[in-house]
Amino acid sequence: MLKQSLLLSIVLALISIGCTSPDKDGAKKLLGSGHGISNITVLVNNLKTARNYYTDTLGFDLPKPDEFDTVYNAALATAINFADFSVLEFLSVADTTAIENKYAFVKSFLKQPEGVRMYTLSVSSADTTHAWLTTQGFKTDSVRTYRTSTKSPKGWDWDDGGPEARSVDFDSLQPPAHLPQFTQYLDLDYPEMQKEWTTWYIYGRSYQKNPNGVVGIAALKIAVPDLAKSRKEFKRMGFEELDPSPDENTVRFKLKRNQELHLVDPKLPDDQIDKFLTARGSGVYAIAFEVENLDSTTAFLKKRLPKEALVIDTLKAQVTVLQDYAYGVQLEFVEEPEAQATLAHQLMIGEALDSTATKHAASLYSKYCALCHGDNREGYAADNAPSLRSHSLLATSKSSNFLRYTIQYGRANTAMAGYIKNQGGPLEYIEIELILQWLYEQSGVDKPIEVSREPVEGDVALGAVIYSNHCKSCHGANGEGVTAPALGNPMLLATATDGFLQYAIKEGRDSSPMLPFKDKLTEKEINNVTAFLRSRASGWDKPKRDSVKLPKPEEYILNPSNNVPVFTLRNERYVSARQVYQALQDSARIVLLDARSKVAWRQLHIPGAVPVPYYEEPDAFVQHMPNDSTWIVVYCACPHAASERVVRTLKRHGFTKTAILDEGILVWSQLGYPVRNGN
């Protein structure tokens, strides 16, 4: 059946070649894998007053005045960030005095009434968008690379001090208000963001709460004097037209997910759109917001606004704040799509899961975990999968990444596969987090059991004897697992600290056959077994436990007299594990930096790597880095978060030959590439 489905998919794909919708093809060339609406810029005369009104009266969660940014070297700005990665930005030039000539378009804002002055759409490649628009006959400025922030990054900062974005403008000095600007943010991995969109979105909803219930932007409504002409213009740009439109005076275009652009022209002389065009000319006259519950939003606004400010349309299921009561832009509120609301409730992680999230987590467990771990988490249903009822296991895992990495990356050469999408699995990061929280709650784990992260001292040879006498009958002579989990697995030992192993031996695992050994073995003997297991982290057939020392600055460069490797980077920043492994095999000149903690480095690291914890001040090591043709490769376990931060800091200090190990140390270990561990 699977083969038939796959064959059908291939046939349909082949049939579709040559008859692809021009709109869809154009949209891909125009926007790429951009995320939709990026920024909507509202011009206001006084930023503080506007901010207070949008916060206190309209119910948006805006930063306080002392958190205002300075942009374009002169104007003040503040913004609301929504979970769908759209941003409602407020800009004031009346609060500043000096506006540089290179930002002359800001001066033109002074001549405009308050309201939306420009809007930006997200694109994954400004160059591709520029080339596409050129082929379609549009005249645009050259691609512009810029920074908006005037703040200087310091210490460990996600900002590398370089350009933040690249944009395509129809006219950067006098932007046409009805046409979009297209922006690519240089720090976003757009393809990865698309793969993990649900995770990004749900975390965004978790952190961004607006009292009025707004969760994102549904549509921008753009007033134009000639609908037929503008329709042709937007279709030529590549936007995909949607049918049906609500009336003959509206044309709808699809962006991403639920987001749309609407072109509207006057229905009657002197109607709302006609008045807008007379006063301002073409441009965004309304923003439609998605809300969690329209009734709640309506009740909220009715308490804070006069009756004449609101239009409540029960037929359209929409409530509107007229532009005179929202600084020149009409605000419309509609209830979010049912599927989106359901998804948000199913995956929302908080202090405790609600009934919807609990039910969804249970269904994910049943689908992906129960086969081996048992319907009731009792374990050992297949392949020696451990009990997930064990309070000991779950409580000692809650403050570490042990279970998280187990689910994400799996256990090589066992039945436990990696379940996260970037490992070829079916689950996004947020779904794994949901399963973990559900497991903790089902086992009654409120607080984690903290175990030491420091290495355990012990005699490896004596530990081997104890292991043979007490452990091998269940865990296998070579750690392969007989009736208990395989302890000789590189991923297990890469993610389990010495303290985690020590606790399991000492206290056992309740709800499982693993008994406590604290009354059978002395503390010293338990330490010896722990040291023995740690010595197998690089392979059961490589029993030597290394004695490692922190590298000295003169040891940072590996093979300093040899040639540098030639790397092919993904997205100009990520280098594959295969290429780095080959460089080490070739004894190439290279620097390896481990962005994790020194404890994690001692537990497991690539030979020759220098521990550079992302949270320690960078000045101590930066001065010892080579700033020539030598590649500096940084890795962590995430696999990008900590290493990304180190690389950004290096770039800010002028280092250009930097790369991030794409797969991270855990996959490196799982691939069987060399690692070291020890005291």
Overall average pLDDT of the 273-293 stretch? 95
Say yes or no to pLDDT of 9 above 50.
Answer: no
pLDDT digits (tens, 9 = 90+) for 216-230: 999 999 999 999 999
User: For position 103, what pLDDT does the model report?
Assistant: 56
Burial of 152 (0-12, 13-18, 19+ CB in 10 A): exposed
Does residue 58 share a domain with residue 207?
yes
Q: Are strands 75-81 and 69-71 parallel, antiparallel or unpaired?
A: antiparallel
Residue 14 maps to a domain: no
Residue 561 sits in a domain whose CATH number is 3.40.250.10
Q: Give, in order, the Cα–Cα distances in Å from 144 to each of 51, 127, 618.
A: 30, 10, 31
This prediction has a pTM of 0.85
Does residue 409 share a domain with residue 474?
no
Say yes or no to pLDDT of 395 above 80.
Answer: yes
Range of the structural domain that residue 405 is part of: 349-442
Burial of 304 (0-12, 13-18, 19+ CB in 10 A): middle
Residue 330 sits in a domain whose CATH number is 3.10.180.10
- How many domains is the chain partitioned into structurally? 4
Q: CA 645 to CA 425: how far, in whole Å?
A: 26
In the block, which residue shows the tokens 């949209």?
A: 27
* Contact partners, residue 69, CB within 8 Å, separation at least 6: 76, 77, 78, 148, 149, 150, 151
Residue ending a domain, choose from 388, 413, 442? 442
* Buried residues in 34-51 as b, exposed as e (16+ CB within 10 A): bbbbbbbbbbbeebeebb
Overall average pLDDT of the 237-257 stretch? 92
Q: Give me the helices (H) in 321-470, please.
A: 338-347, 355-368, 370-373, 391-397, 402-409, 429-442, 460-470
Q: CA 279 to CA 177: how far, in whole Å?
A: 13
Task: State which H helix or E strand residue 654 sits in.
Answer: none
Residue ending a domain, choose from 283, 306, 339? 339
Q: CA 121 to CA 181: how far, in whole Å?
A: 6
Does residue 85 share a domain with residue 222?
yes
pLDDT digits (tens, 9 = 90+) for 288-316: 999 999 999 999 999 999 999 999 999 99
Residue 518 maps to a domain: yes
Q: CA 171 to CA 141: how far, in whole Å?
A: 6
Residue 678 maps to a domain: no
Residue 431 maps to a domain: yes
Strands of 136-259 (E only): list them.
144-146, 165-168, 181-185, 214-223, 240-242, 250-254
Say yes or no to pLDDT of 5 above 80.
Answer: no
Structure tokens at 172: 């950067």
Tell me the Cα Rg of the chain: 29
Does residue 285 share a domain with residue 251?
yes
Q: Determine contact, residues 119/41, Cβ cutoff 8 Å.
A: yes
3-class secondary structure per residue, 589-610: CEEEEECCCHHHHHHCECCCCE
* Contact partners, residue 231, CB within 8 Å, separation at least 6: 241, 251, 263
Does residue 136 share a domain with residue 25?
yes
Residue 171 maps to a domain: yes
State whether residue 657 is helix, strand or coil.
coil
Q: How many residues does the chain have?
A: 679
* Full strand arrangement of the beta sheet holding 590-594: 574-575, 658-661, 631-635, 590-594, 610-611
Backbone dihedral angles phi then psi of residue 325, each to the nearest 5 degrees: -115, 15
Does residue 196 share a domain with residue 104?
yes
pLDDT digits (tens, 9 = 90+) for 558-617: 999 999 999 999 988 999 999 999 999 999 999 999 999 888 888 889 999 999 988 877
Say yes or no to pLDDT of 158 above 80.
Answer: no
More confident residue, 366 or 382: 366
Model confidence band, residue 467 (pLDDT cutoffs 50, 70, 90): very high
User: For position 18, what pLDDT does the model report?
Assistant: 34
Say yes or no to pLDDT of 120 above 70.
Answer: yes
User: For position 491, what pLDDT does the model report?
Assistant: 84
Q: Determine contact, residues 348/206, Cβ cutoff 8 Å.
A: yes
